[in-house]
Structure 1
Amino acid sequence: MPSVGVATTEFIDAAAVQSKALGTDPAYVFVPHPVQDRTDDELRKMADDHLEAILALLVKKA
C-alpha cells in the first residue's frame, strides 16, 4: 500500500539517517517547522500547499 510520511523540516536529517539504517527509501513530504502553534487556518493552508506533492508520491510508479 502506498504511503507518504509527512514531517516538519526539523526532521529531515533524522529521516535520512533512519532510512539509511533501515535500508529503505520512504516517500516523505516535509512541511515548515514548527506546527504546534499554528492556527487551524494556517494548518489548512499548509495542508493545501503540500497536497499535490503528497498525492504525486502516492500515485508514483515504483
Structure 2
Amino acid sequence: MHDTVWFEIQGLPAVSIASSEFAEAAEVQRKALGMEGARYLLVDHPIQDANDEEMRQKAREVFESVVTALTA
C-alpha cells in the first residue's frame, strides 16, 4: 500500500494487489497513510505456495479489474 500511495501522490495511477488474507491490513494501511481512496485488489489466499500456473490464473482473474482501477 505504501508504494500505491507514493505513486498516487506523484500523480501516477496505482493499485495494490494483495492476498485476500490482507484485506483488513490494506484498509488500515490506506487510512494510516492518509489516503483512504487508495485502490487495491485482492486475490484468493494463499499465494505463497501457488505454482506458476496458479499464479497466472490469479493474475488473469484480476487483470480487467487492474486495468479498470488504473484507468477509471
Both structures adopt the same fold (TM-score exceeding 0.5): yes
Query: 1:21 Cα deviation (Å)?
Result: 2.0
Corresponding letter in the other structure for 1:53: S
1:27 alignment partner in structure 2: 39
Q: Give the ranges of 4+ consecutive aligned residues of structure 1 lying more than 3 Å apart after TM superposition.
A: none
Q: Percent identity?
A: 42
Count of aligned pairs: 60
Cα drift, residue 39 of structure 1:
1.1
Distance in 1, Cα, partners of 2:48 & 2:29: 24
Tell which deviates more after alignment, 6-15 or 16-25.
16-25
The one-letter code of the counterpart of 2:38 is P
Compute the TM-score of the two structures, normalised by the length of structure 2: 0.77
Q: CA RMSD in A?
A: 0.9
Unaligned runs of 5+ in 1: none
- TM-score, structure 1 length as denominator? 0.88
SS in 1 for 2:18: strand
How far off is 1:33 after superposition?
A: 1.0
Residue ranges of structure 2 left out of the alignment (5+ in a row): 1-11
